[in-house]
Structure 1
Amino acid sequence: MAHRSIGQDCLGFLRPDRPTSSLDAIVALIDWKPIGEMLSPLYPATKGEPAWPPLSMFQAMLLAIWYDLSDVKLAEALDDRASFRRFCGFSLHEPTPERTAFVRFRRLLVSRSLDKTLFEAITTQLKARAIRIKTGTIVDATVIASHTEQDSEARWVKHKGRKAVHGFKAHVGANAATALVEKISITPANINDGRAGPDALPDNPGEVFADSAYRGAYFREAVRARGGSIRVAATGMWGRDEKETIARLKAWNHGVHRVRGRIEKIFGTWKRSYGLRRMRWRGLAKAAVQIHLTATAYNFRRTLTIVAR
């Protein structure tokens, strides 16, 4: 299926007095050409009405994350806001996608399993822009409630002192220096953190900071296999002198939690600002799309902050 040609009537955006937007700066952060090439196989049908450009649809998905918009609100905002049109490549007066176009596009992302590939390709470019000496990796997990308790692929989980949650779990590996998310694994909520943790480890992780849920030989050996060293919060230590041992335990855990706590800000941004308090769609595959899109949107904003500094 041919793609529509958009952005032809671009003179409406060339006024020198037009207001700028942070979206204009985000567009300049990466080379979008390889991302467009990865998306180009979508809409494979040879007949029918020309499809919306996949790259523009993907960029619209990012807008929905940043501004916590439903498909209906996204379609309305894209039709109305000049900054949204510029970001997605639409000119001032041409038509924009309707709500159902976003539904179909999301189904294609799920069917092709492109969400993880796109996340990794974009993150690789963003890491190159936010150059810092890597000091280590933070690994942690967060539970996101399912769209409905009738979602057969989600599971119940209960943490001490908290209400039981029916949903999924995002296992995340983030750069300890830049707080960019580098690796993600999505599972049902009842999967143990330590068992799923290795799938959230990037290559050459350096020092790996994690809470006590990641104690155990399985995760420790996975860290060593990738060339890293592990710093996990301890629940106890051996020693002859009680006061001295307690002091060592507190000092060790303070050093771990001081670094590991940075990942809580990532999860807070996802849930408070990007609408990831609850899944929007049913099923593990669609949950993975939502989480990967959220992490991609977060990495863009985080990189913009680092570059601005």
Structure 2
Amino acid sequence: MAERQIGQLSFTDGLVNEAARANAPLQRMAELVDWPAVEALLGGLRSGSMGAPGYPSLALFKALLLQQWYGLSDPGLEEALLDRLSFRRFLGLSLSEPVPDHSTLWRFREQLAKSGLAERAFDLITAQIEKSGFVLKRGTLIDASLVRSAVNPPEPPDGPVPPDADGRPASKLVKSPHDPDATWTRKENKYFFGYKMHVGMDQDSRIIRRLDFTPASVNDTVVADALICGDEAIVYADKAYDSHARRARLKEMGIRDGIMRRNGRWHRLGTWAVRRNAVLRHRRAPVEPLFALIKRVYGFARARYRGLLRNATAFQLAAAAINLQRWARMAPQTT
């Protein structure tokens, strides 16, 4: 598909840009990020020879970031792009150019999900932030949080269903026909149906350096090693991540072990281990506000879509938006 050319400003655009008040956060992000590198990564998404010229991938990707920052639906984003000069300026659209409609935005997000480029874009942006020196790498906080499915939990089918090895009742084994990727898990003696988001966050900058999104039944420790960056001084985590293999791996990598200890099957923790856990609990606590931010501000109190792939893409976009916003707000200005 041919790609339309955007950003050819008219005399009127120049007058309006001079008179209008700039959106400082968006302007700062436009200056900080190496957008041509992001454009090169995403360029193939709009390739093809049939149909009307499509919008540049970079403009659509920026639109999805705006959607994350301002909590907009696809139709709401379309309306905001029509109405807000700062949004047009961020995308590179002139006043005379049409904006992408909500169906175009949806299709582009679907392309991101199927191609896996949302995660690669997150990695690229995070690498730029790290290269700037904003990430100090003194420690990584790893943790996970549950996300309810967009659909209601399924009811057990007709007829008996045997419990699983853990003794879970039949209804907890059933998958939803409306969201077959969502699964059950148990936390604090309560059953939960949905997904789980996993992060590895830098201790000082609060930048998300690693992430994953899985069905709720995936144990925290399964993806833990992928959340360790390898260049941090110490890794902080709660008891769910404690294992002899992980301690040995951290030692081999030259990374200090900040994982809380849990009681063994045959022995209780000693006084020193209990005190150590209390200290580490305080050190790893800053990761909790991140999950509160993702859920309350970025709309992940409940999964946005049906299916693992779509929700994972939304999570990757949200994480990229959070990192960019924090970088733009906290990074020192250069003169």
Same fold (TM over 0.5): yes
Give the greater-gyration-radius structure (CA).
2
> Partners in 2 of 1:222 and 1:116 — Cα distance?
26
Find the counterpart in structure 1 of residue 323 from structure 2.
299
Q: Is the 8 A contact 2:129 2:135 kept in 1?
A: no
Residue identity in the other structure for 2:230: D
Is residue 2:269 matched to residue 1:206? no
Find the counterpart in structure 2 of residue 18 from structure 1.
20
Residue identity in the other structure for 2:21: P
Q: 1:102 to 1:208 in 2, by over 3 A?
A: same
Is residue 2:22 matched to residue 1:7? no
> Partners in 1 of 2:201 and 2:74 — Cα distance?
29
Residue identity in the other structure for 2:217: N
Is residue 2:297 matched to residue 1:273? yes
> Partners in 2 of 1:71 and 1:225 — Cα distance?
47
> Partners in 2 of 1:116 and 1:99 — Cα distance?
22
Is residue 2:175 matched to residue 1:151? no
Say which SS state the counterpart of residue 44 (structure 2) adopts.
Answer: coil
Which stretches of structure 1, 4 residues or more, deviate above 6 A after TM superposition? none
Q: 1:13 to 1:299 in 2, by over 3 A?
A: farther
Q: Is the 8 A contact 1:127 1:180 kept in 2?
A: no
> Partners in 1 of 2:245 and 2:301 — Cα distance?
30
How far off its partner does 1:164 sit? 3.1
| Residue of structure 2 aligned with 1:81, choices 62, 80, 84 | 84
Q: Is the 8 A contact 1:144 1:276 kept in 2?
A: yes
How far off its partner does 1:96 sit? 0.0
Alignment size in residue pairs: 301
Q: 1:46 to 1:170 in 2, by over 3 A?
A: same
Larger deviation: 84-93 or 197-206? 197-206
Q: Is the 8 A contact 1:205 1:226 kept in 2?
A: no
Trace 1:122-137 onto structure 2 (pairs within 5 A): 122-137=125-140
TM-score (norm 2): 0.84
Find the counterpart in structure 1 of residue 119 from structure 2.
116
> Partners in 1 of 2:135 and 2:50 — Cα distance?
48
How far off its partner does 1:167 sit? 1.4
State the Cα deviation string for residues 65-108 of structure 1 (Å, max 9, x = none): 11111111111111111111111111123210011001110111
Find the counterpart in structure 1 of residue 218 from structure 2.
191
Find the counterpart in structure 1 of residue 259 from structure 2.
232
| Residue of structure 1 aligned with 2:288, choices 264, 282, 288 | 264
State the Cα deviation string for residues 159-201 of structure 1 (Å, max 9, x = none): 116x533211111111112110011122111111112211222
Larger deviation: 218-227 or 78-87? 218-227
Larger deviation: 209-218 or 130-139? 130-139
Q: 1:144 to 1:13 in 2, by over 3 A?
A: farther
Q: Is the 8 A contact 1:145 1:279 kept in 2?
A: yes
> Partners in 2 of 1:277 and 1:48 — Cα distance?
38
How far off its partner does 1:259 sit? 2.1
Trace 1:37-116 onto structure 2 (pairs within 5 A): 37-116=40-119
How far off its partner does 1:202 sit? 1.3
Say which SS state the counterpart of residue 150 (structure 2) adopts.
Answer: coil
Structure 2's unaligned 5+ residue stretches are 153-177
Larger deviation: 69-78 or 12-21? 12-21
Larger deviation: 55-64 or 121-130? 121-130
Is residue 2:306 matched to residue 1:282? yes
Percent identity, aligned pairs only? 33
Residue identity in the other structure for 2:205: T
TM-score (norm 1): 0.90
Find the counterpart in structure 1 of residue 165 from structure 2.
none
| Residue of structure 1 aligned with 2:242, choices 215, 221, 230 | 215
Q: 1:259 to 1:273 in 2, by over 3 A?
A: same
Q: Is the 8 A contact 1:194 1:218 kept in 2?
A: no
> Partners in 2 of 1:211 and 1:185 — Cα distance?
17
Residue identity in the other structure for 1:306: M
Structure 1's unaligned 5+ residue stretches are none
